[in-house]
Amino acid sequence: MKPHERDGLIERVEREGATVGARIPDTVSVQGREMNLQEFAFETRKKDGVAPDERETVERAKRNLRRERLERKDRLEDDEMTVEEGEALAASIVGIDRALHALNDLGPTDLAREAEAQEAADQKRWMNFLKQALGRDSGRRHRS
């Protein structure tokens, strides 16, 4: 895969609206174990909130999905692969993101953690905006 193709796939998985229209994969290998992701997300969402006894299961699944997403994104950025393999990997990352959005929409199970996650996401968006606005590339300053 050429660098510009890789960059396009990375940009696609990081785009704000990447999950719009995406579907949750039926199954996904998370931390070496197969997970019926679509069924889990659907069954969890159709309940009226998360019961206290199921909260830890949902939180653990979300943590594992975030970890798996990060590992897949790292592979997309660093590993040698064909364009087709890269596209499949990017699609799986977007599918995991879609599942995470569905599970996060259940309502915060830990308000402090949710607030921290939102703050981190806001800071990341702000830094990306500043880098683009100031014309910085990978931390280097361009002078005119």
* pLDDT tier for residue 112 given thresholds of 50, 70 and 90: low
127/87: higher pLDDT? 87
Q: Name, of 38-52, 102-116, 121-135, the range with top average pLDDT.
A: 121-135
Rounded to a whole number of angstroms, the distance between the first and last alpha carbons of the chain is 33
Residue pair 13/76 in contact (Cβ under 8 Å)? The answer is: yes
Q: Is 85 left (phi over 0), alpha (psi -120 to 50) or beta?
A: alpha
pLDDT at 109: 47
Computed over every residue of the chain, the mean pLDDT equals 82
**pTM score:** 0.67
Residue 7 pLDDT more than 90?
Answer: yes
